[in-house]
Amino acid sequence: MINILMSRSSALTKEWAFDHLKNILKSDMKVVVLGFSFFGDLTEKRYFEEYGENSEYQEKIKAIFSLYKISNIDWIYYYKMSHSDMIKLIRSADILYYPGGAPDLMMKRIVEKNIFNELKSFDKIIIGSSAGAMIQLKNYHISPDNEYFKYSENEGLEYVDDLFIEVHFRRRRKQKSSMRKINRKYKMPIYVIPDDGMLIVNNKVVTTLNAASLYYNNGKTLGD
């Protein structure tokens, strides 16, 4: 299993990422995108305007993967899709892609649609940006920001169980405070992923790309 964790989907388009991933992401692979990370309650009409066929977001995802000559992309929609069709798509995927947005709401919808176990057992390539990176962990934390006003700890999909991450890292005091809490409680490695960074976990082997780095290790801080 290969896990790719980033803060922005645009990281996949950068030369430093492409040089590393071009030998991992192959043109004959199938991508399945989980469209569950939206904030709040979208009506069915509004949902498909934002995430449906020919939407700006779908075109963005197509453009990103076209750099790797991947054109076989399907979506798991929150609306108008049966449980059996969701399961078929997960099982057909070579790459699962988790978008950014609301990690806690994405997990809630995964449980609601009864696909948690199927997603958890997926063992090929998993790519996620921001919220989609966070939920790849066994446990993840949310630092206070413009969408979330208080710190919280949450359960994820358990693909990666031996580290924590701080996405969109900008050395903010609230981010550092959140990491201190995690460090005191778990004494596990904590990696920071700025918007121009990426973390790759390949069968437990961690590679940091560009601005991503190890911040806490064995309870000791390596960052500023």
Residue 54's pLDDT band (cuts 50, 70, 90) = very high
Where is average pLDDT lowest: 1-10, 197-206, 212-221? Answer: 212-221
Mean pLDDT, residues 47-56 taken together: 95
User: Could you tell me what percent of the chain has a pLDDT over 70?
Assistant: 99
CA 87-42-91 angle, 5° bins: 10
pLDDT tens-digit profile of 140-151? Answer: 999 998 889 999
pLDDT at res. 224:
67
Q: Are 167 and 7 in contact (CB under 8 A)?
A: yes
Mean pLDDT, residues 87-91 taken together: 98
pLDDT at res. 108:
98
For the domain bounded by 2-221, which CATH number is listed? 3.40.50.880
Mean pLDDT, residues 86-104 taken together: 98
Q: Helix, strand, or coil here: 17? A: helix
pLDDT at res. 14:
98
Show the 3-state SS of 81-118.
CCHHHHHHHHHHCCEEEECCCCHHHHHHHHHHCCCHHH
